[in-house]
Amino acid sequence: MTEVSRVIDVPPDAVFDVLADGWLYAGWVVGSSHIRDVDPGWPAVGSRIHHSVGPWPVHIQDVTVVRAVEPGLSLSLEARGWPLGAAAVGLTLVPHGEGATLVRMTEHIVNGIGKVLPAAIQALIVKPRNTESLARLADLATGKHARAQDGHPRP
Portion of the chain with pLDDT greater than 90, in percent: 66
Report which of 102, 135, 132, 104 is spatially closest to residue 1, judged by C-alpha positions. Answer: 104
What are the pLDDT digits (tens) for 78-134?
A: 998 766 788 999 999 999 999 999 999 999 888 887 778 888 888 888 899 999 999
d(CA 100, CA 117): 36
What are the pLDDT digits (tens) for 24-41?
A: 999 999 988 899 999 999
Q: What angle do CA 68, 69, 70 make, to 5 degrees?
A: 140
Query: Which one has a higher pLDDT value, 116 or 44?
Result: 44
Query: What integer pLDDT is reported at residue 155 of this predicted model?
Result: 53
In this prediction the pTM is: 0.91
d(CA 38, CA 19): 12
Query: What integer pLDDT is reported at residue 35 of this predicted model?
Result: 95
Query: What integer pLDDT is reported at residue 125 of this predicted model?
Result: 84
d(CA 24, CA 27): 5
Domain 2-149: which topology?
A: Alpha-D-Glucose-1,6-Bisphosphate; Chain A, domain 4 (3.30.530)
On whether the CB atoms of residues 103 and 92 are closer than 8 A, the answer is yes
What are the pLDDT digits (tens) for 51-61?
A: 988 777 888 88
